[in-house]
A and B are shown apart, each in its own frame.
Chain A
Amino acid sequence: MTAPSTRRLPEPRVSPSVAATTNSHLQITDVTKNFGSQAVLRGVNLSVAKGGTTAIVGPSGSGKTTLLRLIAGFEHPDTGTISLNGTTVAGDGAWLPAHKRQIGYVAQDGALFPHLTVGQNVAFGLDPAKLEGGRRAVAARVAELLDMVSLDPAMAKRRPHQLSGGQQQRVALARALAREPELMLLDEPFSALDAGLRVATRRAVAKVLAEAGVTTILVTHDQAEALSFADQVAVMRGGKLAQIGNPFVVYTRPADRATAEFLGDAVILDAWLEGSLATCSLGGIPVRRPPAQGKVQLMLRPEQIRIAEDGPIRGVVVDTDYFGPETTVRLKLNVPQEVAEHADHRYPGGGEVITIRHWNASIARPGMELCLRVVGEAVAFPMED
C-alpha cells in the first residue's frame, strides 16, 4: 500500500475515459442498468485497450460486479452499448449471448463443477471434435494448461473439493484459458483466499495472463489488489466510474475526496491556494493543476509526510499504533509560526490531528514534539458545501 515516493516515476499517461481508440478491445458507452426500481449502473463509460489489464475497484454495492456481468453477457444493459473489437454485442438492438463472446470468466469462488474432476473441468470448454488428435489432444492440452498455472498435471484426476482454495482458483483460470479467450473477466477471484495465498495467487495469475497476452478485467473491492494488478484502474462509486487512470495517477491524484479516501489513507487539511502554492498547517505545498483558488481542501498521502531533523513545521504526538514493519503516529499540528505572526484569516489551520507512518517505533512517544517536512505535490479539492 505504501507507494514509493522517492522513486521518480515516468510521467503518467492519463487515458481519456471515453475516447474510442482504434485498438480498444472493449468499449462501454453510457451503459445503465436497473434492478427493479434500484439504479445499479448510472451511465458507465469505459474503454479497455487490447492486451491491457484493467481493475474495476469500488466498495460493495457500487455496481462493479453488475458491470462485469454485463460485459460477460449474463445480463442485458437497460440502455447504452457494449462493443467487443468494434462489434456491438449488447445495446442498439444487438445481442450476443455469453457463450458466443469469446470470453474467459473466473468467479469469486472459482465455480468449479463439483461433479467433474479437475481435468474434466479444464476440458469442459474444449471440443474434442475440433481439436486435432481428438481425446489425446484434449488430455495433452489439459496437462499443458495445468502446467501453465503451475499445477501438477497429475492433479487432473482429483476432485475440486480435494484442492485448496488457491489451487481451485488456478484450475478455474486454466479452465477459462482453455478456449484461448480474447478477454478474461475476473470477479473478485482472490477475495476468498487468505492473505498470504492471495498475494501469491494474484502474482501467478497476473503472470500467466500477461504471458498469454489476454485483455483482462479484474473486479475487486480491495484497492491494494487493484493498484498492484492493473495498468488501468477504474474507480466505481454509486453506479458510476469516478475516475479512470493508471494506478499511480489515481492513487496520487484522485479526482475527489471520496476516491482519495477509498484508495488509501489520506491526510486532508484546509488550505489557502494562490497560484499553485497552497498554504496550510504543514507550510507551503506545491499543488499540481489547481482546480480553484482561495480556500480549498488539500490531500496528502501519509507517506509524503516525513519526520525531519529540524524545521518550522511541528506537531505533538497524540498516540501511536505499532504494526511491526511500520508505526502509525497521530500528531496534533502546531500553528505555523508565520501564520501565527501574520494572524491572517486567509491562512487556515493549526491544531489538526493527522496520521503519518514511520518504520522506527521508538521515534515517537506521546507528548513529544516532532519536526515534519512534506515530500512531493499535494492534490487540492474545491471546498465541499
Chain B
Amino acid sequence: MTTDLSAPARRGTTTAGRGNSPRPPFGVSAVSILAVLIALFSLVPLGYVVYMTVATGWDTAVALILRPRVGELLANTLLLMAATVPLCLLLGVAGAWLVERTNLRGRRIWAVLLAAPLAIPAFVNSYAWVSAIPSLGGLGSGILISTLSYFPLVYIPAAATLSRLDPAIEQSAAALGLGAWRALFRVVLPQLRIALTGGGLLVGLHLLAEYGAFAMIRFDTFTTAIMTQYRSTFNGAAGNMLASVLVFFCLLLLMAEVRSRGTARYARIGSGAQARALRLPLHAYQIPSQAFLLALTALAFGLPLYYVLKWIVAGGADVWTAAEFLPALLATFGYGLAGAAATIVVAFPMAYLAVRRPGWFSKSLELSNYVTSSMPGIVVALAFVTVSIRVMPGIYQTAGVLVAAYVLLFLPRALVNLRAGLAQAPKELDEAAQALGKPPLLAFIRVTLRLTAPAAAGGAALVFLAIANELTATLLLSPNGTKTLATEFWSKSSEIDYAGAAPYALLMILLSAPMTYLLFQQSKKVAGQ
C-alpha cells in the first residue's frame, strides 16, 4: 500500500532521474513507509481488542457482555458521563466567559487559577477528598471529583476561543438589534462549538480511562473492573470483553464528536487588525461571580493542595526518606525523558506528512492516530502485555514496552506541537537554502529541523510531564521492582499510608504545574488557527 501511494509522484523521476532525488530530505516513500509503520503500530491496541473479541467467539462474547455485572458498570459509566460532562461544560464555559468577556476583577489571576486544577492528577484529587471526607464513595463522589478534576479541559479551549473571537461578530449582532444576553446565546456560544465538543470529548475519554481516582473511592467503572479482572485472572476473557465494551464507548464518543463538529467554519474571515474584545459590565453580579470562582477554585485546587500539605506536615521529616523517593524520582525522570524523546521521534514523520504533504494519505494517518488517542491507558497496557507475552516473551516487563506504551498514549500531544512548529517552517525556506547551494539533507537540518526544535522541545516537555503522572499503564507494564512517583503514591495510599503518599503527590503537582501552564499557553495559539 505504501509504495504505491507515493509512486505516481515519483514515477517520472525514477525513470528519468539518474541524479539525486529532488524531494527533500529523504524520498517521499521513506517518510511514508515510516509513517505507515508507525500508524500500524499505533493501531495495535485497537487490533488487540478486535482480535480478542473475535477469538473469544460470538456465544462466549455475548454471554460475557450480557450479564448483570456489565449492566451495573454500564449504568455507573453512563450516569457518571451524563452528569459530569454537562457539569464540566457549564463550569468551563461560565469560567471562560467571566474571564474573557466581562469586567471581572482580577481576571488575569482567575484565568490561570481556573486552569490550575489540571496540575493535580485526578487520583491525587481523589486522595485529598477521601482525606477530607473518609466516607466518600459511589456515584455522587465520582461526579464531584471528576468534575473538579476535568472542567479545565473545557475551560482552557473555551477561554482560548473566546479570547480570539472577533468582537466584530458581536458588534454586528448588536447592530442587528440583539442585546448582550441574546448575542451571547445566538452568536457567541455557537462559535464555541468546536471548543465545547472537543473539550466534552476529552472529559468523556478521561472518565472512561481513569482508574486511580475511581478506585480510591471504590466507584466501579469499566476501567476499574478491567483492572480488578486483570489482577485476579491475569488475562481472562471476561476482562477482554470489558475492554471491548470500553473501546466501543470510546469510539462512540469519537464519532459523536466528529458528527457534532460538522463541517462548519468558525475561523475569522477576512484580514485586518482585530478590534479589542467587548467586556460586559457585571455591576451587581461582580460579587456573586467572585464568590462562584472562589468556591470553584477552592474546591478544585485549594482543597487538594491543602490536604497534601497537611499530610506532609503531619508526616514530618520521617516520610522524606531519600532511599525511597529518590529512586522513584529518578525512575520517573528516566522514563519521562526516554518516553518524551521516543514520542517526538515517532511523531515527526507523521507531523511532517500532515504539514508538508496534506492529502487523503496523511488524512488517513491522522485518523488512525485520532482513534489511538481515544484508547484508554488500560487497553493500551493490556494490549502490550498480551502481545509481548504471546509474540515476543523476551520483552515482557522490560522498560522498552512501557516506553512504547507511553509513545502511543501521548503521541497526540507531541503531534499538536510538532505540527504547529513545522507550520512555522514552510518548505519555501528549505528551498531557499537549496537555492543557496545547500544539499537537501543539509538544508533540511539547518532550516526545518532547527526551526521545529522549540516546538519539539515544548511537545517533549508536555509528554514528559504527562508520563510523570501516568498511573494505569505504568502499574501494568513497569518492570518488576521499578517504582515511579505515581506507582509509589498509589501503593502507599492503597495501604492507607496517607502521610507517606503525600511527598509523592506534592512532587507530581510540582512537576505538573509547568505542564498546565504550557497547555494553557499552547491553547491560545492553537485557537487562532
Contact = CB atoms under 8 A, between A and B. Distances in A.
B438 A113 contact: no
Contacts of B13: 76, 95
Interface stretch (B140-148, B386-394, B428-436): B428-436
Given A72-B431, A74-B431, A114-B451, A179 B12 contact: no
Contacts of B439: 97, 99
Interface string B398-427: 000000000000000000000000001010
B41 to A, nearest CB: 30
A104 interface: yes
Contacts of A72: 431, 435
Given A76-B12, A115-B451, A105 B435 contact: yes
Nearest to A114: B451
A138 interface: no
Contacts of A185: 435
Interface string B464-504: 00000000000000000000000000000000000000000
A24 to B, nearest CB: 21
A103 B435 contact: yes
B16 A111 contact: no
Contact of A98 (B8, B12, B435, B447): B435
Contact of A111 (B18, B428, B438, B450): B428
Interface in B1-57: 8, 12-13, 16-20, 22
Chain B interface, DSSP helix/strand/loop, else mixed = helix
Chain A interface, DSSP helix/strand/loop, else mixed = loop
B433 A124 contact: yes
B299 to A, nearest CB: 44
A75 B429 CA distance: 15
B440 interface: yes
B435 A95 contact: no
B20 A97 contact: yes
Nearest to B453: A115
Interface residues of B, number: 27
Contacts of B426: 111
Nearest to B454: A115
B437 interface: yes
A234 to B, nearest CB: 21
Interface in A86-136: 91-100, 103-105, 107-109, 111, 113-115, 124-125
B434 A98 contact: yes
Contacts of A105: 431-432, 435
B202 to A, nearest CB: 32
A108 B443 CA distance: 19
Contacts of B8: 36
A315 interface: no
Nearest to B8: A36
A269 to B, nearest CB: 41
A94 B12 CA distance: 12
Contacts of A91: 16
Nearest to A69: B431
Nearest to B19: A95
B22 A125 contact: no
Contacts of A124: 433, 436, 438
Q: Which of B18, B20, B432, B443 lies at the interface centre, i.e. has the most chain A CB atoms within 10 A of its CB?
A: B432
B431 A107 contact: yes
A105 B8 CA distance: 28
B432 A107 contact: yes
Contacts of B440: 97, 99
Contact of A179 (B431, B432, B436): B436
A189 interface: no
A178 B433 CA distance: 13
Contact of B428 (A95, A103, A107, A125): A107
Nearest to A73: B22
Interface in A56-102: 72-78, 91-100
B432 A111 contact: yes
Contact of A97 (B424, B434, B450): B434
Q: Which of B12, B431, B443 lies at the interface centre, i.e. has the most chain A CB atoms within 10 A of its CB?
A: B431
Contacts of A295: none
A99 B447 contact: no
A115 B436 contact: no
A250 B8 CA distance: 38
A104 B431 CA distance: 11
Contacts of A115: 450-451
Contacts of B443: 99
A330 interface: no
A176 interface: yes
Contacts of A73: 22, 434
Contacts of B428: 107-109, 111
A179 B437 contact: yes
A175 interface: yes
Interface string B51-86: 000000000000000000000000000000000000
Interface in A147-178: 172, 175-176, 178
Contacts of A36: 8
B449 to A, nearest CB: 11
B435 A76 contact: no
A29 to B, nearest CB: 14
A176 B16 CA distance: 29
A75 B13 CA distance: 10
Nearest to A75: B22
List of 10 A-B pairs having minimum Cβ-Cβ separation, nearest first: A125-B436, A105-B435, A95-B19, A98-B434, A111-B432, A95-B17, A111-B428, A99-B434, A97-B20, A76-B13
8 contacts: A76-B22, A78-B12, A94-B18, A95-B20, A99-B435, A111-B426, A114-B424, A175-B432
Given A97-B439, A115-B451, A124-B433, 13 more contacts: A73-B434, A75-B22, A77-B12, A92-B16, A97-B19, A97-B20, A97-B434, A98-B22, A98-B434, A99-B437, A100-B437, A111-B428, A179-B436
